[in-house]
Amino acid sequence: MIIVTGGAGFIGSNFVASWLASSDEPILVVDKLTYAGNLENLASYRNDARLLFQAADICDQPVMEQLLQQHSPRAIIHFAAESHVDRSIHGPAEFIRTNVNGTFSLLEAARGYWGGMTAESKAAFRFLHVSTDEVYGSLGEQDPPFTETTPYSPNSPYSASKAASDHLVRAYFHTYGLPTLTTNCSNNYGPFQFPEKLIPLMIMNALEGKRLPVYGDGRNVRDWLYVADHCTAIMEVLDRGRIGEVYNIGGNSERRNLEVVERLCEILDELRPDAGIGPHRSLVSFVKDRPGHDQRYAIDSGKIQRELGWRPSVTFEEGLRRTVAWYLDHMDWVRHVRSGEYRRWISLQYGSGEPSK
């Protein structure tokens, strides 16, 4: 079996779905269920004996050790993290705690467990650390995309904490021989993304006729990958990646933020022509920029393509349509996750009350 930390979050829950669609190997999800973790994301598997769930904090090393002893996994896929850059600017401490100390505790627990395995199980064991392209810093308009050898240059408390965790994972491979793999991926989007990240926030605000808060001039560039493609990439790396290696994963879909928001507006104009709002793009509103806002991210995913034959299968156009359709079909899910904590965040980030026109 495998252990998936953060499996009740956005990418983790999509990973569980991808895994169980193609394998009967059981999964234990270990998740603290922060504001971003939600058991509803795993509701389809409520009666599926292949999925176990344990509420736990990855910083709690004795509990991590006990779970490893109890379940004897052949791999840990480590998604658990604080993941929102804007939140890291308002309150970095939790990012250091979970992303740095939590990854350290998990590595220590894994090292102890792995050390006690038979030689054969030891060789087969994997610790796959899921990281981000943000560790590489910010690119200029004409710079080549990030490769696995681009020097680290994190600019936000979030990316600095992820960079620190990447370094720890690297050290555990080089020092102790723990069979690690690290993936650095670009911006994901798709079902179950918490509606404070760009794409779901804009979909929900547009549906409700609220302003669409674009930071700065909207010219910052992100590379977008449909979440299911990220999950297949992780499965390929787990299966055939070379231990100790890093694999960059990207969608080859660079877009300016304003382009993304305008495209979402066009899709909503088409799918919700009778919303009584007029063209949804009239809701676009330029707001104060994110402090230290990275200008551009772009990923060269040549290594994973060459070595493992992985490629994104969903185009940005298609993925965006699927994502909008998913949110339109899952308004109950959205209602449930917009808890008191969500409202507190929106008020802190965008001023009093939810953004309104």
User: Could you list the residues that contact ligand DAU (CB under 6 A)?
Assistant: 83-86, 132-134, 186-187, 197-198, 201, 213-215, 220, 222, 257, 290, 297
**Which partner from the list ligand NAD, ligand DAU, none does 87 bind, CB cut-off 5 to 8 Å by kind?**
none
Check binding of 191 to ligand NAD (CB under 6 A). no
Query: Is residue 8 a contact point for ligand NAD (CB under 6 A)?
Result: yes
Nearest residue to ligand DAU, by Cβ distance, number only: 132
Active site residue 133: yes
Confirm whether 342 is a catalytic residue: no
Q: Check residue 80 for interaction with ligand NAD (CB under 6 A).
A: yes
How far apart CA 279 and CA 19 sit, in angstroms, is 40
From 136, 158, 297, 327, the catalytic residue: 158
**Among this protein's residues, is 35 annotated catalytic?**
no
Helix residue ranges, H only, the chain: 10-22, 61-71, 85-90, 93-95, 103-115, 119-124, 157-176, 198-207, 227-240, 257-271, 302-308, 316-329, 331-337, 340-350
**8 Å CB contact between 301 and 171:** no
Q: Which of 102, 105, 86, 222 lies closest to 157 in space, CA to CA?
A: 86
C-beta separation of 299 from 356 below 8 A: no
- Token readout for 238 is 């787990």
Positive or negative CA dihedral for 248, 254, 259, 264? negative
Q: Among residues 133, 166, 196, 223, which one is catalytic? A: 133
State which of residues 162, 210, 263, 296 lies at the interface with ligand NAD (CB under 6 A).
Answer: 162
Q: Is 260 in the site for ligand NAD (CB under 6 A)?
A: no
DSSP assignments along 265-297, one per residue: HHHHHHH-TTSSSSSGGGGEEEEPPPTT---B-
Tell me whether residue 84 or residue 126 sits nearer to ligand DAU (CB atom): 84
Task: Give the residue with the Cβ less far from ligand DAU, 252 or 257.
Answer: 257
For residue 312, state whether it binds ligand NAD (rule: CB under 6 A): no
Residue with Cβ nearer ligand DAU (63 or 204): 204
Contact 128, 77 (CB under 8 A): yes
Residue 159 binding ligand NAD, by CB under 6 A: no
CA distance 147 to 333: 37
Residues identified as active-site: 133-134, 158
Q: Which residues bind ligand NAD (CB under 6 A)?
A: 5-6, 8-12, 31-34, 36-37, 57-59, 79-83, 98, 102, 130, 132, 162, 185, 187-188, 194
